[in-house]
Chain A
Amino acid sequence: MSRDENKLLIDVKDLRVSFDTYAGEVQAVRGVSFYVNKGEALAIVGESGCGKSVTAQSTMQLIPMPPGRIKEGSVMFNGKDLTKFTDKQMESVRGSEISMIFQDPMTSLNPTMKVGKQIMEGLIKHQKMSKQDAKQKAIEMLDVVGIPNPEKRVEQYPHEFSGGMRQRAMIAIALACNPKLLIADEPTTALDVTIQAQILDLMKDLQKDFDTAIILITHDLGVVADMAQRIVVMYAGVVIESGTLDEIFYDGQHPYTWGLLKSVPRLDTQGKQKLYPIEGTPPDLFSPPKGCPFAARCEYAMPICREEMPEKTHLSKDHFVKCWLQHEMAPDVENPIKKGRE
């Protein structure tokens, strides 16, 4: 799905987020723009510290402020700028319009509160339901997310649930008020693969049934291939490439995207493949480099890369990349992911 003003749900423009620490200012997010259409699943991929979680949390104003602060940018949701919202106004959005599920279901559920009550909380607050109705709805939600014996389970505490069931309960809480956007921050990273398969299946079904848009934050490209329609690749606080699923996997243009795709072994290939690691480590965000942040690790880096950040090059409606290799004076480089497929 490409950008369509009628279907646009959330539009993030030039978002900049910093954290003030004793050691100085950490520029975690340095000018990020992306959008999500209604009912669409967008994946934000990148390594730890690339700013993907901070980006998602800032859209809901969930970063602790201070030390964090949104320096610049706008988050347009249904035509309103969320960065201008007061705490009170945000409260009416969180849980009802935008919900979030987190990586670790144990630390994000309240251990002293019954699971049922945690689902009812949002329903009573946002939809002004009575206690009885809310409880009925909580039982229904537990059933929707595939928890057996929901009547019994609403009365239980999170520690009585297994890891996979806690994640299901989190999804039930997040979807109870039928939000338009679900932000899933590494929703399956803490789970085993067989449980991950269950949760991903559930999320896909719910996306269809409730027509919820999803922002999926992950580093697992397998999960992305399974879930997302579009991808945003982040590195050191900036978006370096974005496009549809196929455009990134089969026609990705940024050397970092290539590196991500080539450094993971695949289950379905014959014989031994060589892994191509990305040498070095991501830059320090206290003083980000002035040129392209990936230049220091990039095997194709040219002098210009260390001097100036490349502009966007649009390759299709959805696909853009920020890389000097796209410049007409740059040398031709064979695309290693395309080559591998032929």
Chain B
Amino acid sequence: MSEKKLEGRKNIIEVNNLKKHFKVGKGQILKAVDGVTFSIREGETLGLVGESGCGKSTTGRAMIRLYEATEGEVIFDGMNIQRLNRKELKNFTKQAQMIFQDPYASLNPRMTVGDIIGEGMDIHGLRKGKERMAKIYELLEIVGLNREHASRFPHEFSGGQRQRIGIARALSVEPKFIVCDEPISALDVSIQAQVVNLLEELQEEMGLTYLFIAHDLSMVKHISDRIAVMYLGAVMELTTSKVLYDEPLHPYTQALLSAIPIPDPEVERSRNRIILEGDVPSPINPPEGCKFQKRCKYVKDICREKAPELREVKPEHFVACHIVK
């Protein structure tokens, strides 16, 4: 597979200084997403990685208005999605869809697979009767199932097959943009590759744009054109997947990459691992200044005082760090 040409493509979705804070009682505020800015181009896959609790899923959900953002804006196709009226919102939900992590919890166990896939079309009044069924059959075949499956229920399917149903449901309204929230984390290794290959084929055929959220960096590297690394609600580094893995600049990205075991004994024996001390701090009352300061070995005074901005250090390579020149 050759690398996609991305220069000159227009942005399909832009996220500007997005914040999502949750009140957690006792006057405390959990800052799940705290000022995130990036954009995704048409036909691109942007990978969003980070450890649990870093705000990657919250970002994805806020981008399709499953959460109301606390601050900042999300611009989709020139429209601010926070300021849509009912009709515009309905149109937006048709264009932006989501594939969920847990293929067991995200399908209604009391609906047949056909109805699960057809529900979106019913809501948007896209197809009726025979035409609707024909589309359902077509979608089932596209995702590698067959038409007999339409009358069955979710419990009759394996995890990988359910994830295919979830993909067919997302595709039923012919969206432009899909948020894939850890779509393969719950699947076995041999099944993960099936689903990832399917997502890649669909993107090529239909020109889809993906936000691919995951914590498995090897898989993210494989599927993404560009990758944003998040830590404690902020983007630490953003660049093409090749550059991110070849020359990571942020100390957190470096540690994260070095922590991943590589399935090759010779490589493992000769590797020097950067082991981070301690845990990810709580996003409730996070530290002032740089979010990563408590685990960073290069920490300086300025890191404790001022949060670094995400700046372009090289073309297409953005880093939020005071140390990186």
A275 lies within 8 A of chain B by Cβ: yes
Cα–Cα distance between A265 and B260 once the two chains are bound (Å): 12
Given A267-B218, A273-B222, A274-B1, check contact A222 B261 (CB 8 Å).
Answer: yes
B256 to chain A: which residues have CB within 8 Å? Answer: 193-194
**Beyond A221-B189, A277-B193, 4 extra complex contacts between A and B, CB < 8 Å:** A194-B51, A264-B189, A275-B196, A277-B192
B257 to chain A: which residues have CB within 8 Å? Answer: 267
A196 to chain B: which residues have CB within 8 Å? Answer: 259, 261
B2 to chain A: which residues have CB within 8 Å? Answer: 272
Cα–Cα distance between A163 and B278 once the two chains are bound (Å): 11
B105 lies within 8 A of chain A by Cβ: no
B262 to chain A: which residues have CB within 8 Å? Answer: 222, 225, 266-268
- CB atoms of B215 and A193 under 8 A apart: yes
- CB atoms of B192 and A263 under 8 A apart: yes
A residues with a Cβ closer than 8 A to B are: 47-48, 162-165, 192-198, 200-201, 219-226, 245-246, 249-250, 259-261, 263-268, 271-279, 281
- CB atoms of B218 and A264 under 8 A apart: yes
- CB atoms of A275 and B197 under 8 A apart: yes
B166 lies within 8 A of chain A by Cβ: no
B263 lies within 8 A of chain A by Cβ: yes
Cα–Cα distance between A11 and B161 once the two chains are bound (Å): 38
Partner of B265, one of A192, A200, A249, A277: A249
- CB atoms of A245 and B265 under 8 A apart: yes
- CB atoms of A164 and B279 under 8 A apart: yes
B264 lies within 8 A of chain A by Cβ: yes
B160 to chain A: which residues have CB within 8 Å? Answer: 281
B217 lies within 8 A of chain A by Cβ: yes
Cα–Cα distance between A278 and B188 once the two chains are bound (Å): 11
Given A249-B263, A266-B264, check contact A279 B279 (CB 8 Å).
Answer: no
Cα–Cα distance between A249 and B259 once the two chains are bound (Å): 20
B263-276 toward A: CB 8 Å interface, digit per residue (1/0)? 11111100001011
Instruction: Report 26 cross-chain contacts, Cβ distance below 8 Å, ordered by A residue.
Output: A47-B188, A192-B280, A193-B217, A193-B259, A194-B255, A195-B51, A195-B279, A200-B261, A201-B273, A220-B261, A222-B262, A222-B263, A226-B268, A246-B265, A249-B263, A249-B264, A263-B189, A263-B192, A264-B192, A264-B218, A265-B218, A265-B221, A267-B218, A278-B194, A281-B158, A281-B161
B197 to chain A: which residues have CB within 8 Å? Answer: 274-275, 277
Partner of B261, one of A226, A261, A271, A274: A226
- A-B CB contacts (within 8 Å), total count: 129
Partner of A267, one of B193, B196, B260, B275: B260
Interface of B is mostly: helix
- CB atoms of B190 and A277 under 8 A apart: yes
A274 to chain B: which residues have CB within 8 Å? Answer: 1, 197
Shortest Cβ-Cβ A-B pairs, 10 listed: A222-B261, A277-B193, A221-B263, A265-B222, A192-B51, A278-B190, A197-B259, A277-B194, A263-B193, A275-B193
Partner of B263, one of A192, A194, A224, A279: A224
Cα–Cα distance between A198 and B258 once the two chains are bound (Å): 12
B192 CB to nearest A CB, Å: 7
B182 CB to nearest A CB, Å: 13
A222 to chain B: which residues have CB within 8 Å? Answer: 218, 260-263, 268
Partner of A201, one of B222, B267, B275: B275
- CB atoms of A193 and B51 under 8 A apart: yes
> Which residues of B, 205-246, contact A by the 8 Å Cβ criterion?
215, 217-219, 221-222, 242, 245
B3 lies within 8 A of chain A by Cβ: yes
Residue from A224, A263, A278 having most chain B Cβ neighbours under 10 A: A263
Cα–Cα distance between A260 and B196 once the two chains are bound (Å): 15
Cα–Cα distance between A269 and B224 once the two chains are bound (Å): 14
A274 CB to nearest B CB, Å: 7
B111 lies within 8 A of chain A by Cβ: no
B264 to chain A: which residues have CB within 8 Å? Answer: 225, 249, 266, 268
- CB atoms of A276 and B268 under 8 A apart: no
A319 CB to nearest B CB, Å: 14
B263 to chain A: which residues have CB within 8 Å? Answer: 221-222, 224-225, 249, 261, 264, 266
B151 lies within 8 A of chain A by Cβ: no
Residue from B242, B256, B259 having most chain A Cβ neighbours under 10 A: B259
A268 to chain B: which residues have CB within 8 Å? Answer: 245, 262, 264, 267
- CB atoms of B259 and A281 under 8 A apart: no
B275 to chain A: which residues have CB within 8 Å? Answer: 194, 197-198, 201
